[in-house]
Amino acid sequence: MKDSRLTQYLPYLVVGLLALFPLVESTFYMQLLTKVLILAIFAMSLDLLVGYTGLVSFGHAAYFGLAGYALALMAPKYETVSLWWSLPASIGVCALFALITGTLVLRTRGIYFIMVTLAFAQMLFFIFHDTKLGGGSDGIYIYAKPLMKLGEIEVANLEKLEHFYWLVLILTGATYLLLHRILGSTFGRALLGIKVNEHRMRALGFPVFKYQLASFTLSGALAGLAGYMAAVQYGFVNPEILSWHQSGAVLMMVILGGMGTLYGSVIGAFAFVLLQEVLSNQAWFGIAAKHWQLAMGIFIMLVALYMPQGLAGLAQKFRRKPAEEAADE
Amino acid sequence: MDFAFFLIQLLNGLQYGLLLFLVASGLTLVFGIMGIINLAHGSFYMVGAYLAWSLSSMTGSLTVAILLAIPLTVILGMGLERLLFRHLYQRDHLYQVLLTYGLILVFEELRSLIWGDDVHGVAVPALLNASIPLTENLSYPVYRLAISGVCLLLAAGLYFLIQKTRLGMMIRAGASNRDMVQSLGIDIKLIYTLVFALGIALAAFAGMINAPLSSVFPNMGGQVLIICFVVVVIGGIGSVKGAMAASLIIGLAETFGQVLVPEVAGMIVYVLMAIVLVWRPEGLFGRS
Amino acid sequence: MSEPILRTKALTKRFGGLVAVSDVSLDLFVGEVHVVIGPNGAGKSTLTNLLSGDLPPTSGEVIFEGRDIAGCTSDHISRLGIGRSYQKTNIFLPFTVFENCRLAAQSRTPHALSVFQQAGGYAEINRLAEEAMAAAGLTHRAGRIAATLSHGEQRQLEIAMCLATQPRLLLLDEPLAGMGPHESQRMVELIKGLTADHAIMLIEHDMDAVFALAHRLTVMVNGEVLESGTPEAVRSSPAVQLAYLGGEELLYD
């Protein structure tokens, strides 16, 4: 009982502590934490597909990057745009693109699905890389952060690090609650049913394709939310943000944290960024830090081989042990 | 477009398509027979190209370099199958994706450590360093023709291997019924090792012979991998015949696309893929 | 005689050169168990797959409640009121028995795509699920994970999930497969109890169960209907005795 009460309040405690983080007054760590939270939204959006619908997408960066480009192309140069319309518009573009690609990729399964999602993401990469539409391989700068004004009152000034940080924190919490709510609904249960046994769901009368398409579109839209925030944070977009390395990284976060557990995606984003920072720290690893991807690659392979349930899986193993023993007696 | 120019583009498209076939056929065999998705397949193409460059600059001959590099890549393939891929056959595709993605990072960093990050050119073998004149100012390089010829020979060899030999029969049986093959007392593990090594060697060989044309540069495997995915999706998973048809279609479409509509040339292959997905989701030669 | 709820006309399925189901015409009525027997490879499961929409027929008609459903997708056919169980147990192994049934019941409600109402919050869905569990005799197992059930109970769950979708026609593909005598007896009683309100097409090898349940019997051989009629008529048919029951006769004498 004690245990369940702890897990019940733990998320609020964590969010509370994170909300107080700007008191630390470290620009570096606040930017890093903002980045982690944005990636947590991104990872949660992918977990909806991989962990709850059973669809392994290897092209999720497409929706992340597309939102950034949507913002950059909508923002007039040197002028500020309002967040109130540019955010929904960017998310809408991603949802629409996910809806269109979803109707195509969902005609395939398994290995095909993985390849086709990757190929469509790559198509988008080449559109922005090869044409002048998005500034080619150099990308586009977003000179001013979007405005958050209600009438004359400024709700938040995103040029200020802590304001942007708080906004991202709120959005991360909101994404978690939204997905948590959806996954507990009849819709969410049906998605899980499709993941476990798609054929049986169809025989029971579920229009499986529609459910998958809804999940795919929602997932793309939430990836767009993360991508918009990432573009605001960095102040520029270039084709790299929708490259397949980005898709691989976010898949790694989902699995490292533990797929099929939303909080696992948040933990995974933290762990992945932390690891990246540590491995590429020149003060610690000197010249080897330049080749940090080697260590990262080996780590990813080890996780795939020996930790398929991720950190959340490890935690559950340790927590369940005493309870299971008690139940057996 | 006059005829000589058209002929050049046609030959280029065919040559590119045939080269794609070498890489994609290995990918589709490994998919079809072992049920493995190998994102690192493109890395072997890169390894082949770098081996060709470094060994040819050591020995002074691309031919010698290729003869030395082929056994190396076969050994690499067999070793990786035994060490890594064997653990993946029964696993979810998700983990295959993750592990082979990790492998790409490892290969790229090792490449950077061993060979550096510069772009290198590779000399065409002296014997093939000539051109066939077509008109007064248009000619066609012999080396490209030689590549096409070698690819065609290999494709014929692959067809013979799969359709006519005992090993090929076992490969085909393994693709359709793993348990049956095992109950007949055939060593399926050995077949898997051989097929995997064959796929890797084909990809690496493609990298080697194309090195003089494409030059050798970091991340060169990624682009090839994704085009090969498109080839496999269009052709149908596990179908070598499909891989051949799709490779030629893509090769010609990209080559002519770059000449006729350069702005959107990069998109053409993906549009083709989308059309095939709508029309025949299992691929041109795939089994539904 | 009342109208059949389902009627097939010249139903045929070819796989390349192989004719798995050939020119099959049969009628199913509410209140009747129509048993289809035949040796392995006779096309019984393929026939079931044609009726349930798991496979599209090559030619012929499937008329369900007055409309041709040949070639409709399986989810569509399920929603029209045809439920099926599978020869190989086909359930949601990681879920509890109740969740299995609730998921099945959920497919019938107009709120199925509702995103915010929590899954446990629908009284109607819960009631359907509980009724289905009770009908299949699984109420005492409601909280158990399906994977931990005995084989017989998993077969019962298979039926319960079918029932939760409120079908008017049940297609049961070898529900007794792999069951012990005690479990088989329970399943036969369960099916008997469903007969009044449902039309049932049953594929079965267990001859005791076949003759205990059948109102109508169809014998299939090589994809074709060899004989069809009342159990007595079929049993005494010379063609059937020669081709099929001949070998089984020993069991009865």
CB contact under 8 A, A301 and B84: yes
In chain B, how many domains are there?
1
Scanning every residue of chain A, which has its alpha carbon at the shortest distance from the alpha carbon of B286? A112
pLDDT above 60: residue A325: no
As a whole-number percent, the residues of chain B with pLDDT over 90 amount to 60
Together in a domain, C17 and C39:
yes
C-alpha closest to that of B192 among B51, B88, B61: B88
Nearest CB to C106; choose among A189, A203, A208: A189
Scanning every residue of chain A, which has its alpha carbon at the shortest distance from the alpha carbon of B114? A291
Nearest CB to C107; choose among A185, A187, A204: A204
Reported as a single tens digit per residue, the pLDDT across C3-46 is 899 999 999 999 888 889 999 999 999 999 999 998 888 899 99
Give contacts of B243 with chain A, Cβ < 8 Å: none
Q: Is residue C86 part of a domain?
A: no
CB contact under 8 A, A299 and B94: no
Average pLDDT across chain B, whole number: 90
Model pLDDT, residue B134: 81
Residue range(s) defining the domain that contains residue A50: 2-328
| C-alpha to C-alpha distance for C134 and B139, rounded to whole angstroms | 83
Q: Residue C192 has which token pair?
A: 């008997």
**Considering the entire predicted model, what is its pTM?**
0.90
Here the CATH number for the domain that contains residue A23 is 1.10.3470
User: For B107-127, what is the mean pLDDT?
Assistant: 92
Between A12-21, B183-192, C156-165, the lowest mean confidence (pLDDT) is in B183-192
For testing contact with chain A, the best of C49, C77, C85, C113 (most A CBs within 10 A): C113
Nearest CB to B273; choose among A114, A119, A299: A119
Residue range(s) defining the domain that contains residue C141: 91-166
SS3 A245: helix
Of C131, C146, C166, which one is at a domain's C-terminal end?
C166
CB contact under 8 A, A205 and C93: no
Model pLDDT, residue A326: 41
Reported as a single tens digit per residue, the pLDDT across A193-216 is 999 999 999 999 999 999 999 999
Together in a domain, C235 and C161:
no
Q: Residue B73's pLDDT band (boundaries 50, 70, 90)? A: very high
Model pLDDT, residue C111: 59
Nearest CB to A186; choose among C84, C86, C117: C117
Give contacts of A251 with chain B, Cβ < 8 Å: 94, 97-98, 101
Average pLDDT across chain A, whole number: 89
For tokens 């409601």, what's the residue? Answer: C142
Q: Residue C234 has which token pair?
A: 């079929």
C–B touching, 3+ CB–CB pairs within 8 Å: no
Model pLDDT, residue C79: 93
Q: Which chains touch A (3 or more CB pairs under 8 A)?
A: B, C
Q: Is residue B189 part of a domain?
A: yes
Here the CATH number for the domain that contains residue B268 is 1.10.3470
Q: Residue A134's pLDDT band (boundaries 50, 70, 90)? A: confident
Reported as a single tens digit per residue, the pLDDT across B166-181 is 878 877 776 666 666 6
Q: Residue A283 has which token pair?
A: 């003060």
Q: Is C23 on the interface with A (CB under 8 A)?
A: no
Together in a domain, C124 and C193:
no
Q: Is B232 on the interface with A (CB under 8 A)?
A: yes
Together in a domain, C162 and C172:
no
For A154, other C-beta atoms within 10 Å of its C-beta total 12
Between A173-187, B183-197, C191-205, the lowest mean confidence (pLDDT) is in B183-197
Give contacts of A214 with chain C, Cβ < 8 Å: 113
Model pLDDT, residue C89: 86
pLDDT above 80: residue C250: no
Reported as a single tens digit per residue, the pLDDT across C99-150 is 999 999 998 876 555 667 777 778 888 999 999 999 998 999 999 999 999 9
CB contact under 8 A, C90 and A203: yes
A–B touching, 3+ CB–CB pairs within 8 Å: yes
**Backbone φ, ψ for residue C63 (5° rounding):** -100, 115
C-alpha closest to that of C34 among C175, C210, C188: C210
Q: What is the ipTM of this complex?
A: 0.88
Give a three-class secondary structure readout of chain C: CCCCCEEEEEEEEEECCEEEEEEECCEECCCCEEEEECCCCCCHHHHHHHHHCCCCCCEEEEEECCEECCCCCHHHHHHHCEEEECCCCCCCCCCEHHHHHHHHHHCCCCCCCCCCCEHHHCHHHHHHHHHHHHHCCCHHHCCCEHHHCCHHHHHHHHHHHHHHCCCCEEEEECCCCCCCHHHHHHHHHHHHHHCCCCEEEEECCCHHHHHHHCCEEEEEECCEEEEEECHHHHHHCHHHHHHHHHHHHHHHC
Calculate how close chain A gets to B198, using CA atoms only, in Å: 21
In chain A, how many domains are there?
1
Q: Residue A277 has which token pair?
A: 């920072």
Q: Residue B100's pLDDT band (boundaries 50, 70, 90)? A: very high
At position B19, the amino acid (one-letter code) is L
CB contact under 8 A, C95 and A196: yes
Helix residue spans in A235-291 (DSSP H) = 244-257, 262-279, 282-285
Q: Residue A327's pLDDT band (boundaries 50, 70, 90)? A: very low
| C-alpha to C-alpha distance for B17 and B151, rounded to whole angstroms | 10
CB contact under 8 A, C106 and A190: yes
**pLDDT: which is higher, A150 or C69:** C69
Reported as a single tens digit per residue, the pLDDT across C49-76 is 999 999 999 999 999 999 999 989 999 9
Q: Residue C184 has which token pair?
A: 């088989």
As a whole-number percent, the residues of chain A with pLDDT over 90 amount to 61
Q: Is B173 on the interface with A (CB under 8 A)?
A: no
Together in a domain, C67 and C190:
yes
For testing contact with chain C, the best of A183, A186, A211 (most C CBs within 10 A): A186
Element (H or E) spanning A148, and its range? strand A148-150
In chain C, how many domains are there?
2
Model pLDDT, residue B267: 84
| C-alpha to C-alpha distance for B82 and A297, rounded to whole angstroms | 19
CB contact under 8 A, A185 and C52: no
| C-alpha to C-alpha distance for A30 and A36, rounded to whole angstroms | 10
pLDDT above 50: residue B149: yes
Q: Is residue C134 part of a domain?
A: yes
Q: Is C119 on the interface with A (CB under 8 A)?
A: yes
Of C133, C149, C166, which one is at a domain's C-terminal end?
C166
Q: Is B31 on the interface with A (CB under 8 A)?
A: yes
- Residue B71 to residues B65, B74, B168, B197, Cα–Cα distance (Å): 11, 5, 21, 10
pLDDT above 80: residue B101: yes
User: What helix, strand, coil percent values describe chain B, rounded to 5?
Assistant: 80, 5, 20
Q: Is residue C212 part of a domain?
A: yes
Model pLDDT, residue A2: 46
For testing contact with chain C, the best of A178, A204, A210 (most C CBs within 10 A): A204
User: For A134-144, what is the mean pLDDT?
Assistant: 86
C-alpha closest to that of A207 among C112, B279, C169: C112
Calculate how close chain B gets to A313, using CA atoms only, in Å: 15
CB contact under 8 A, A303 and B98: yes
Reported as a single tens digit per residue, the pLDDT across A215-225 is 999 999 999 99
CB contact under 8 A, A182 and C117: no
Residue range(s) defining the domain that contains residue B36: 3-279
Calculate how close chain A gets to C202, using CA atoms only, in Å: 17
pLDDT above 70: residue A87: yes
Together in a domain, C197 and C224:
yes
CB contact under 8 A, C91 and A197: yes
Q: Is residue B287 part of a domain?
A: no
**Backbone φ, ψ for residue C28 (5° rounding):** -120, 135
β partners of residue A207:
none
Q: How far apart are the first and last CA of chain B?
A: 41
β partners of residue C171:
C84, C201
Q: Which chains touch C (3 or more CB pairs under 8 A)?
A: A
Model pLDDT, residue B174: 65
Whether the CB-CB separation of C63 and C6 falls below 8 Å is answered with: yes
Instruction: Determine the length of chain A.
Output: 329
Together in a domain, C29 and C61:
yes
Whether the CB-CB separation of C187 and C176 falls below 8 Å is answered with: yes
Give contacts of B278 with chain A, Cβ < 8 Å: 104, 107
Scanning every residue of chain A, which has its alpha carbon at the shortest distance from the alpha carbon of C106? A186
C-alpha closest to that of A219 among A268, A263, A160, A178: A178
Scanning every residue of chain A, which has its alpha carbon at the shortest distance from the alpha carbon of C167? A204
